[in-house]
A and B are shown apart, each in its own frame.
Chain A
Amino acid sequence: MKGAASEKRVCPKLVRFTPTELEVVRDRARGSGRPVACYIREAALGGRPKAQTGALNHSVIRDLAGFATKLRELAQLAAERHSPEAPICAGLAGEALDLIRQID
């Protein structure tokens, strides 16, 4: 259920959860890509907030990107020290980026 378009949400309501309940609600809200309050409101008003598609992909991309960033830094450092590992690190970073490209 939705209010009128011009109607503003000005009424706060405190809701108490047990820590476990709150953790579950937080996980679900995160999974649907919404803030906790939005998730609770939508669910309470009869909506079924769907899990955000691609949330897992985003997580994987973030991890791979972090991994690739660190490998790049390592490659740069190794190159500055004329270390033979430099091209290996650069190659691994490139592979991580290729994996990111393949993720839809």
Chain B
Amino acid sequence: MIGVSSSSRSFTSLGRYLVAGRDGNAEGRIAWSSGRNLPTSDPELAAKIMRATASQNVRVAQPVYHLALSFDPRDIVDRAAMERVADRVLAELKLNQHQAIIVAHGDRAHPHMHILINRVHPETGRVWDRWQDYPLIQRALREEERALGLRQVETARAVDRDGGVGGSIAVDAGAQKQAAKHREPVGRELLAAIREDLATHDRVSQFGQQRFAAERDVSGAQAKRDQIESAIRRYNRSESALDGSLARAYQDPHAAKAAFLAAADKNGERDAARMMREKPEVFGPVRIVGRQTSAGAAQPPEAIAAVREAAGYGLEFLAARREIGKLLERQHHGAMPARQGIEAAREMVAGGVAVARGRLESIRQAERTLPSQDRLELRLAQRLRQLSLPEFEKLRLMLTPPHVSLTYKLRQMVRDAALGRDGEQ
């Protein structure tokens, strides 16, 4: 069993929460409820009565004491057993004369109940002091676990520090002092373990950031490689298409290609393509297919079609060459000529991908030597939960602001989970 306690101001708010939760959905939430020193088992009405009772004492700022007792999901407990545990805890805390309403919820896998208690005594008006309530609750729970044959929870500070569950209820002051002396080094060890966990958490976070950067580098390198590969494919495809059409159109396709490229460099790509379409003979003697024609006569239709095709492929080839030139220029900062650097650039980019992957893998291997962030935070949260409030405050003074923030968050997280608020936030 796990027991969590808290104090607050408003009976009404807590009563409403117990009935309807935060989302206001009361259906199936309450399994049963039972009052102690109250004429009703209706939580909201009980809260109203408790509020009126608490108003007798004008000094108390937080008259509400809230206990949440959760059983292991595998524990099979009925109402009688749950009420027995509740009564035992109330008696242990000397709250058996105070007004209390026990509300068992059936909205989760694990059986659990909330006890809303009025800290103000209904007859005397005196306020019950919750100092050192945690060990008392734990002792009662451990004993009830043994008595009812329930699963024992090892998160309890009292159990851990007292070295077992055999402590009796009537512990005299001397025995308590002895126990306190015995606890001291355990507390120091716990603080040291928490600080070590926090340092590990820092390392895990750093590795996480490095892994994120390495993954980003791998993605970037792969994108560059894909871009260059795609540009190379386009370049090769357009060049072979241009070569093919020039071979069909010209008697000397190599000379025609060189002339076309020179014209493109000199007059511009579009002018060179237009010239090839309109005056193909400028780039060399045109291949004659089929019938012979006299000089100045119209070109045969096959040659005209091949020339037009070559002009189109020529433009595409020039665009591909321009694109790959830009990419390689970016890759090598303009140091390497486009044509010569294609293969070298391809290798360099592939090498960049391999380096980035290697770095990522080494980070992942280093991460494997550490616990996962989730597991570490869970362990840290459990250890933080074992600290009393003064110990926690003492720890916070020794920590850096980010660690303070983390410890506060984790402690709150465990508390919320134990109170059954985990699914509602």
Contacts and interface: CB of A to CB of B under 8 A. Distances in A.
B48 A62 contact: no
B40 interface: yes
A97 B58 contact: no
Given A33-B58, A101-B45, A93 B52 contact: no
Contact of B45 (A52, A72, A100): A100
Contact of A34 (B40, B53, B58): B58
A57 interface: yes
Contact of B39 (A57, A59, A71): A71
B210 interface: no
Contact of B38 (A30, A34, A35, A65): A65
A61 B52 contact: yes
A97 B48 contact: no
Contact of A100 (B48, B55, B58): B48
Interface string A63-104: 001101101100000000000000000000100110011000
Q: Which of A35, A57, A65 has the most CB of B within 10 A?
A: A65
The secondary structure that dominates the A interface is helix
The secondary structure that dominates the B interface is loop
A34 B37 CA distance: 26
A97 B52 contact: no
A55 interface: yes
B53 A62 contact: yes
B59 A97 contact: no
B9 to A, nearest CB: 13
A100 B56 CA distance: 17
Interface residues of B, number: 16
Interface residues of A, number: 24
A57 B56 CA distance: 12
Nearest to B99: A65
Interface string A25-65: 00001100111000000000000000010110111011001
A30 B57 CA distance: 9
B55 A97 contact: no
B59 A69 contact: no
B39 A35 contact: no
B39 A62 contact: no
Contact of A61 (B37, B42, B49, B59): B49
B58 A65 contact: no
Contact of A57 (B52, B58, B59): B52
Nearest to B55: A58
A33 B39 contact: no
Contact of B40 (A33, A54, A97): A97
Contacts of B37: 69
Nearest to B59: A35
A58 B45 contact: no
Contacts of A29: 58
Given A65-B38, A69-B37, A93-B39, A33 B48 contact: no
A71 B52 CA distance: 19
B51 interface: yes
Contacts of B52: 57-59, 61-62, 65
A40 to B, nearest CB: 13
B48 A96 contact: no
Contact of A30 (B49, B58, B122): B58
A93 B39 CA distance: 8
Contacts of B42: 97
B59 A100 contact: no
A54 B49 CA distance: 13
A41 B39 CA distance: 39
B250 to A, nearest CB: 93
Nearest to A101: B45
Contacts of A35: 58-59
A68 B58 contact: no
Given A55-B55, A59-B52, 8 more contacts: A33-B58, A35-B59, A54-B55, A61-B48, A62-B52, A62-B53, A68-B40, A100-B45
Closest 7 A/B residue pairs (Cβ): A68-B39, A61-B52, A58-B52, A58-B55, A65-B49, A69-B39, A62-B52
27 contacts: A35-B58, A35-B59, A52-B55, A58-B51, A58-B52, A58-B55, A61-B48, A61-B49, A62-B52, A62-B56, A65-B38, A65-B39, A68-B39, A68-B40, A69-B37, A69-B38, A69-B39, A71-B39, A72-B39, A93-B39, A97-B39, A97-B42, A100-B45, A100-B48, A100-B49, A101-B45, A101-B48
Interface of A: 29-30, 33-35, 52, 54-55, 57-59, 61-62, 65-66, 68-69, 71-72, 93, 96-97, 100-101
Interface of B: 37-40, 42, 45, 48-49, 51-53, 55-56, 58-59, 122
